[in-house]
Structure 1
Amino acid sequence: MKIVSSPLRYAHAEGHTDVCYTEDGQHILTCGNDGDVRIWVNVEDDDPNSHCVGESAIAICYKDKRLYVATDNHAVQAYTFPAFDKDGIVTRFTAPVTQIMSSGKIEALGCTSENMEAKICSPEGGAPLFVMSEHKGPVLSIALCPQMKYSATACGRMDFAPQESRYLAYPNNREVILLEYETWGQRMTFTHSSVGPLFSSGRLPADDDDDDDYGSIPLPWNASSRSLARQMFPTNSLSKIKCAISQCRFSPCGEYLAASTVAGQIAVWEVQSGTCMGIIEHPTSHNVSAMAWNPKGNGVLAYCDVSGQLGALFNCYGKDSKAGTDADDNIEMVERDEDNDLVDNLITNYESDDDNGVSLEKIKNETLGLGHSDGEASRPVSRHEPVVTAVPPQAPFQPSSTPIHLEHRYMCWNEIGIVRSNEVEKGDSSIDVEFHDTGFHHGINLNNHHGHTMASLSSSVLVMAREAMPSKLVCISLVGSSKEWTIDMPDTEEILCVTAGAGVVACATNARLLRLFTPMGTQRQVISLSGPVVCLAAYNTTVLVVYHRTDPGVSDQHLAMDIIAMNGRQIRSKTVPLPLTPGSKLAWVGTTDAGSPCTYDNTGILRLYDISSGIWIPICDTNTHSRGASDTWFIVSISELQQTVRSILCRGTSFPPTIPKPIVAELPIQVPLCELDTEKGQFEEKLVRWAHITADVDIKTAREAALKLFALACRNEIEQRAVELMELLKDDQLLPFAAKYASRLGRSHLADKLANLAESWERDADKLNTAQNSHFVALDTQETYDVTNSEQDLNASLIIPVKTKEKKAETITPIRPVPIKSSPAGIRNPFKKQQDNAKNVQSPLSLTARTLVDVHATDTSENTDPATPLEGETFIDWFSRNKSSLESQNPEMTPSEVSRLGIRTFKNLQGKNGTPESSHKRKLGDEPNGADDAPIASAPKQSKLSAFAFQKKPAS
């Protein structure tokens, strides 16, 4: 029989509303934001009794002729029923109480609060029986098993099965997962479909009392088996669960399970078969805040929503709720007996005596939920231990977004801007886009008519989509005239996550396909993924795809990442395993400003993937920057050049609020080496970080840190470590100063070792390079080919951006020795000995003041004036060396004027040095190539390079 919903009626003021039944099922009890408790005879009662308990009442529970209400003073107040007299306070909290739970056989009350505590209390009051205080956020739900062996807490409402069953049901996105709490293994999964994911991993569940050794039997889940399953498990539901499920409740008999979503949908399943009895749509799509089954077992389910409305569902058991239960039970048993006769005929004709064969009797019992015969009960107990199954796989999500069920939420927050979704009246919503740089693009305000739930923002495009079918990808170009384009997905595909880069737009669907587009809407490629997608990220024309490489383990998610780089018509990919902290889930995926892939899990560990070395490096532990145990960090962006992580501190939650707008903080990037509180650990951390991360650090700073680390080893009398450090760095410019410092310490033996290192490097260079090259070539052959190679750089910005390379090339200028030239004019003496005024050896911390200056000083025996022409050097060569300095000293000059200045300077320097070319004056007509002032002054304006281009002489 079809489930019927009663019309909604006003119960309380708008806000959170709770509901429960008395133990005899004669009255419905509700409480709401107006501070009243109302007692209803039934849903159609027009004059319920009302009692005021305070400014607001959040939770309510009935047990043993007493009523327990959570009031606004953060206490659980007891009342007598039906007299409604105060009967003491059960317990108190320091924050609002969120739920009060109990059942008929449990002699205790479970209470939760926003102060991150849960208590199990005696109904008579007094000290709590048990306190759970290790939560990292507000506790919204508690469930107690009928045997009082286990209790479970969560931020979504869950429920233990009543009576003697051993199941715990909890919501997980758009499905309800059933766990067997003896082994904490996943038993079943309930969705809107009665055939698809009935049982986890496509298997029929093994009966708990079955003594066979076959376990669960895999089914060939094809079209024919689906058709058979539809005949075995019919459903009258034509609806679909559209959004996340927020709570679930078992019926008093334990044979049915009800769940509600944040959009007001209520679904009912039969537990044994997994059949969906029906899905009821809320008329106004408000979130259902509470549900309660009638203890009479008549299939009536009462519920309240966040707008203060009260309603009820009838016929939830598939039969008339007003009819007697005995007759219906007899009819149900007759129907099952007919099923027994049909299946018994199959057993008689086809059952095999082979012990290794498939037991049709077992399939019958598991599928139809039938009991065992007396013969089976006499079988010996199986000696196999229960198998602990895997944790549920992580659902797809959008990085840098907040939960979908929030009325005001962030759809995306990255280095480009912020995309907000705001709920308005009548269920409509709007999308606001705010750019950090208002000069780049003006803000955008859109009406969310399509119900977009996901978005991604880049410097070139805004992409939006929704999960429900029909799926459509909507993109707004931010370049030029801001044109909008849309792409409709096939009827069988549903978009799970989207991403946008400067040169690519991508979406992943439930068909395990990755669809790539250009920023203006051209379909670029479609790629098959190796597992269910988790999230996407993009940088320029590179897409990062995270998916489940295998089924999850007992406590861990097994994820992998595909790095897909595009360059024109070419596409190359590299697959890398994705590490996570044990027992954690992925919380964020993105790239740095240099293009390095990064991941962040919900335990607070941020990791960076160095593509050049192929390793994951932890670069930040956000827990060290948190004050409270429930504080988390919301990642916005990462800068390798500035060595900072831009993130938002969330106190008591895992996501930031929209109002007021949170403040973005900068956390330093730091590799978690050991003993970071010591100087040695700090210098080692800097060298390791600079070796793998594109830091805006010049070579002078790096050499200072290395020399200080060398000095610490010398001062601690660990000479072998000092030599090892120099061998590791292999810096020819740093080695002489390290030897000089060792000599001043009086460690001549160490200085001799360092002096011989340079010679050994040159002698063993060929042999060492050959061995290392063969080693790394062997490593390369074991991996999937990299995104880039030395011959063709498909996406250089994925490793180090081009600008960063150029910047580092300008900063880290190689120091080349300049040969000592003769000085005809006797300006300097190259053999003059320098005076050393330092007599005492300074500590490592004071090396910067004296010794480290010598690291970058130029030897006085060399030509210290770069403007002085070398012997035999032509003007073209001299000008090439000094052009940049001339331009920096005279920024107002044009290229032609700089050329004239260079000619005059070159002549003057030659005259000072007394070179033969400057011994006599030349006439203007004798100047080669007409290099006089008049032609250059009248020459037209030209580029810097073309001003000194060679002119090919015509053949004579």
Structure 2
Amino acid sequence: MKIDSKPLRYAHAEGHTDVCYTEDGRHIITCGHDGDVRIWLDIEDDDPNSHCVGESALAVCFKDNRLYVATDNHAVQAYTFPAFDKDGIISRFTAPITQITSKPKIEALGCTSENMEAKICSLEGGAPIFVMSEHKGPVLSMAICPHMKYACTASGDGTLRVWDIDTQKIVKEISCVPKINTFYSAKVLCRMDFEPSEGKYLAYPSNREIIILSCENFNQRMTFTHSTIKCAMSQCLFSPCGQYLSGSTVAGQIAVWEVDSGTCMGIIEHPTSHNVSAMAWNPKGNGVLVYCDVAGQLGMLVNCYGRDSSKSGETESEDVEMVDKDDDNDEILDNLIEHYESDDDNAISLEKIKNETLGLVEKDDSRPPSRVVDHTPINEPVQAPFQPSSTPIHLEHRYMCWNDVGIVRCHTAENGESSIDVEFHDSNLHHGIHLNNYLNHTMASLSATVLALACPTPSKLVCISLVGSSKEWSVSMPDTEEIVCLAATTDVVACATDARFLRLFTPLGTQRQVLSLAGAPVALAGRGARLAAAYGAGGRLWLDAVCARSGRVRSWAVALSEGARLSWLGCGAAGPVSADSAGRVRGLREATGAWLPLADTAAHRRGDSDSWFIVSVCEGTQKVRAILCRGSSYPVTVPKPIVTELPLQIPLCELDTEKGQYEEQLVRWANTSPDVDVKTARETALKLFALACRSEIEQRALELMELLRDDRLLPLAAKYASRLGRMHLAEKLSNLAETWERESDNLNVAQNLHTQGLDSQDSNDITNSEQNLNASLIIPQKTTKKKTENDTPIKPVPIKSSPGGARNPFRRQPDSTKAVQSPLSLTERTLVEVHAADDKTENDDPLKPQVGEAFVDWFSRNKTLLEEQHSELTPSELTRHCVRTFKSLQTKSNDNSQKRKLDDVVDDPPVTNAPKQSKLSAFAFSKKN
């Protein structure tokens, strides 16, 4: 029999309203924002008894012929029934009480409050039995196991917690609650419930479905949802027999499922789409369900068990009473069932009749269980589909899309009329667009070339071209398909349907391709000709990277935080980027198939109930563009929120130290930025090398240079090491350069095209890659080459020499024995040499000194050639000969150019660390004495 809905009745003033039944099921009790408690004989009672308990009453509960009400003075007040006299205060809180709950088999009350506390109290008052005070937000709801073994709470900090009452510890935490900072702003109350007979299962709402957990290990066993449910579930409630489960949404939809088979008995739409604030089953077990909404109205559903409630109520009540009293008959029935065997398929099973009617469960472990539950959901999506950077459909004013191109808003009036506004960040790209939403579009995607809109039923794709004459085109889906995800880029328009098809179109409407997804689609995102499609399969979330031009598809499993769900999906310059409900932003590197954590938006929250609404991730600027939502999950449309830029940060260790910060910068630039600033990267690398040198960890410094593998940075690192007096490290760095040169000569030309600068041991594995991998693990080779070609040599401005070529006696001589003030206080000349280009000027003589080159640099550069030319000389003789040669070449260069350099040439080879003085400065000192 179909579920029937009674007409709504006015019960209380607009605001949060609660409802419950008396234990005999004869009276309905409600309380509301007006402070009244009303006792109804039935929903058709035109004159209910009304009692004022204060300015407001948020919660009511009936237990053992007493009524417990949450009054405006933050106390749980007990009243006698039906006289309604005050009968003591059970407990007090420092903030409004949000719920009072109990079970028929327990002698206690569960109370929750906005002061971030939940209590299990005795019915007679006094000290509470158990206080749960580890919440970081207002406690919205609570449920207690029938055996007083477990309790469950949901709070505004976004977490559902399961507590062990005996040990008073948390045994399970689940992130499924929208974060809020006050009970009055909560739309999703997350009212959960334990199975009433044995407490084997715990049901709680999560997004658009209800999840069943086993109380043995609190693993997921079943999932209940329906295709007509379009918004988040707010609460769920088991029937008194435990065979049926009801759930309500924030838009007023109420659904009833049969637990054993998972069959949906029916879904009732609220006439005014108001949020349901409370539900209660009739204890008679007649399939009657009453509910209240936030408008203060009282409603009733009948025939929820699939049969006439008016005929089954008294019969079932009498059967329950008779079986409870006749224990001997129950034993006789058990013996008959145990020893009776029948081959007749039409034979009547007493066990089946008893369990279906009474909801009884076998206690003998030797016999098979009477209730068989399918614990593995079949064809259920891991996550409901959503549009990235959009807000829920049920909102009157919502964002359909917000990205780097513009904003698409949808406004729904009270009469049901809807309109769509499109605002572009760059007004030169296109003017604003206003559309009447005749087709009830619920999805939108915006790019620089096209605006794509889609509606679910009847499913239709409508696109408006933003290039040229702004032509509009549309495509209707087949009757059996419905669009659930949509994405538009400059080169392609894609939509995913519930038939697990990915349909690709050109921006002007040509159908390009149809692909089959391996699971139920969850989200779509794109950039240029590349698409990222997230879908659920096998209990996991997967991602397909699709090239619209070639049709090539590659799949990866999506990395998510524990208990989190995918909340945003995008395509960056380096690959797909995702964000989960825990605030973690990750980027996929398609070359390696690894997810790299890029940022943690939760670390930038100002309160526990705040959240970040991600708009885009820009890897070029190393920023995450997001909107701070205070006490909610979504931003408001009026006033227009401000977009904040959050920095990308790889979660390396010890980020509060200089070493950790430099390492994080180098790793992040190598993995995220498509156009690295080589100047800044080399400065950071040199500072990290200086820290290792000053910390007397030469092996780490050498390892860093091997990791960087930058030919232009290596000579400067060797010079810095020699200035610190670490000659052994400088010699190793010089040998490292020679090793790199020999390795590059041994590689053939074909391998150099794919693996230039990589170690030879990895060349065979990397040659199969379609793109050049970085020779440096920190500074990308491809970007370095580009920067090197465009860099302009930065040289000191030469100073005109004085007549006769006299040297500057006032120039400060370099003192190699003087300690460096800071490992990071590099000279200006050092930074200039870091960014100097390798462009070689025309020089017929390879031994000719370069502009500003000192003897040590010149000797190191030409050491191999000089040893070959003068192989008969000893090292000391060769050094003296090279000094004379260098001086003559430098003098010749000065005579030709009539200019002198800033660096003064030392007269003797640098044998010791003592500084050398020019002759003129030494003479002036002697004459003064």
Q: TM-score range by the shorter chain?
A: 0.7 to 0.9
What is the one-letter code of the residue matched to 2:446?
L
Deviation of 1:832 (Å): 13
Taking the aligned partners of 1:366 and 1:659, their CA distance within structure 2 comes to: 58
Look up the match of 1:778. 765
2:824 counterpart of 1:845: yes
Deviation of 1:41 (Å): 1.8
Deviation of 1:160 (Å): 1.6
Taking the aligned partners of 1:678 and 1:374, their CA distance within structure 2 comes to: 61
Look up the match of 1:680. 659
1:679-719 alpha-carbon deviations (Å, 9 max, x no partner)? 22222222212212226543222221111111111111122
- Equivalent runs, 1:420-439 vs 2, <5 Å: 420-439=409-428
Alignment CA distance shift 1:50-1:436 (3 Å): farther
Taking the aligned partners of 2:313 and 2:675, their CA distance within structure 1 comes to: 77
What is the one-letter code of the residue matched to 1:744?
R
What is the one-letter code of the residue matched to 2:42?
N
Residue 704 of structure 1 aligns to a residue whose secondary structure is: helix
Taking the aligned partners of 2:810 and 2:455, their CA distance within structure 1 comes to: 75
Question: Is the 8 Å Cα contact of residues 185 and 388 (structure 1) preserved in structure 2?
Answer: no
Taking the aligned partners of 1:544 and 1:294, their CA distance within structure 2 comes to: 49
Taking the aligned partners of 2:493 and 2:837, their CA distance within structure 1 comes to: 52
- Equivalent runs, 1:505-544 vs 2, <5 Å: 505-544=493-532
Taking the aligned partners of 2:268 and 2:367, their CA distance within structure 1 comes to: 46
2:318 counterpart of 1:323: no
What is the one-letter code of the residue matched to 1:403?
P
Taking the aligned partners of 1:377 and 1:655, their CA distance within structure 2 comes to: 51
Question: Is the 8 Å Cα contact of residues 793 and 837 (structure 2) preserved in structure 1?
Answer: no
What is the one-letter code of the residue matched to 2:560?
L
- Equivalent runs, 1:361-380 vs 2, <5 Å: 379=366
Which of 342, 345, 348 does residue 343 from structure 2 map onto?
Answer: 348
Structure 2, gaps ≥5 residues long = 155-176, 178-189, 323-338, 752-757, 774-779, 795-800, 844-895, 899-929
- Equivalent runs, 1:711-726 vs 2, <5 Å: 711-726=690-705
Percent identity, please: 62
Look up the match of 1:412. 401
1:380-415 alpha-carbon deviations (Å, 9 max, x no partner)? 899xxx999799822222222233444443332222
Question: Is the 8 Å Cα contact of residues 788 and 837 (structure 2) preserved in structure 1?
Answer: no
Taking the aligned partners of 1:586 and 1:127, their CA distance within structure 2 comes to: 43
Alignment CA distance shift 1:318-1:111 (3 Å): same
Look up the match of 1:618. 597
Taking the aligned partners of 1:19 and 1:376, their CA distance within structure 2 comes to: 34
1:748-785 alpha-carbon deviations (Å, 9 max, x no partner)? 2222222222222111224578685774553676xxxx
Deviation of 1:726 (Å): 2.0
Look up the match of 2:647. 668
Question: Is the 8 Å Cα contact of residues 185 and 387 (structure 1) preserved in structure 2?
Answer: no
Look up the match of 2:854. none
Deviation of 1:90 (Å): 4.2
What is the one-letter code of the residue matched to 1:424?
A
Deviates more, 1:740-749 or 1:124-133: 124-133
- Equivalent runs, 1:467-482 vs 2, <5 Å: 467=456, 469-482=457-470
Alignment CA distance shift 1:417-1:677 (3 Å): same
Look up the match of 1:108. 108
Question: Is the 8 Å Cα contact of residues 401 and 408 (structure 2) preserved in structure 1?
Answer: yes
Look up the match of 2:57. 57
Matched length: 766
Structure 1, gaps ≥5 residues long = 194-239, 334-343, 352-359, 552-557, 792-803, 819-824, 865-911, 915-956
What is the one-letter code of the residue matched to 1:279?
I
Taking the aligned partners of 2:575 and 2:65, their CA distance within structure 1 comes to: 63
Deviates more, 1:365-374 or 1:406-415: 365-374
Look up the match of 2:444. 455
What is the one-letter code of the residue matched to 1:837?
Q
1:627-655 alpha-carbon deviations (Å, 9 max, x no partner)? 43443322211222221111223344433
Look up the match of 1:167. 201
- Equivalent runs, 1:124-135 vs 2, <5 Å: 124-135=124-135
Deviation of 1:444 (Å): 3.5
Look up the match of 1:641. 620
Taking the aligned partners of 2:255 and 2:231, their CA distance within structure 1 comes to: 12
- Equivalent runs, 1:275-424 vs 2, <5 Å: 275-323=263-311, 325=313, 327=315, 348=343, 379=366, 393-424=382-413
Which of 543, 564, 580 does residue 584 from structure 1 map onto?
Answer: 564
TM-score (norm 2): 0.73
Question: Is the 8 Å Cα contact of residues 405 and 446 (structure 2) preserved in structure 1?
Answer: yes
2:486 counterpart of 1:491: no
Look up the match of 2:48. 48
Residue 682 of structure 1 aligns to a residue whose secondary structure is: helix
Look up the match of 1:560. 542
Which of 751, 763, 784 does residue 742 from structure 2 map onto?
Answer: 763
Look up the match of 1:899. none
Alignment CA distance shift 1:606-1:188 (3 Å): closer
2:106 counterpart of 1:119: no
Question: Is the 8 Å Cα contact of residues 574 and 672 (structure 2) preserved in structure 1?
Answer: no
Alignment CA distance shift 1:681-1:265 (3 Å): closer
Alignment CA distance shift 1:21-1:659 (3 Å): farther
1:712-755 alpha-carbon deviations (Å, 9 max, x no partner)? 11111122222222222232222222222222111222222222
Residue 309 of structure 2 aligns to a residue whose secondary structure is: coil
Residue 846 of structure 1 aligns to a residue whose secondary structure is: coil
Taking the aligned partners of 1:790 and 1:747, their CA distance within structure 2 comes to: 36
Residue 274 of structure 1 aligns to a residue whose secondary structure is: coil
Alignment CA distance shift 1:73-1:381 (3 Å): same
2:578 counterpart of 1:599: yes
Alignment CA distance shift 1:669-1:4 (3 Å): closer
Look up the match of 2:429. 440
Alignment CA distance shift 1:278-1:575 (3 Å): closer
Taking the aligned partners of 1:8 and 1:438, their CA distance within structure 2 comes to: 50
CA RMSD in angstroms, aligned pairs only:
4.5
Taking the aligned partners of 1:690 and 1:564, their CA distance within structure 2 comes to: 26
Look up the match of 1:628. 607
Alignment CA distance shift 1:559-1:163 (3 Å): closer
Deviation of 1:538 (Å): 1.0
Taking the aligned partners of 2:389 and 2:565, their CA distance within structure 1 comes to: 15
Deviation of 1:590 (Å): 0.9
Look up the match of 1:13. 13
Taking the aligned partners of 1:113 and 1:408, their CA distance within structure 2 comes to: 31
Taking the aligned partners of 2:538 and 2:353, their CA distance within structure 1 comes to: 27
Deviation of 1:544 (Å): 0.2
What is the one-letter code of the residue matched to 2:683?
E
Alignment CA distance shift 1:609-1:474 (3 Å): same
TM-score (norm 1): 0.71
Taking the aligned partners of 1:87 and 1:373, their CA distance within structure 2 comes to: 36
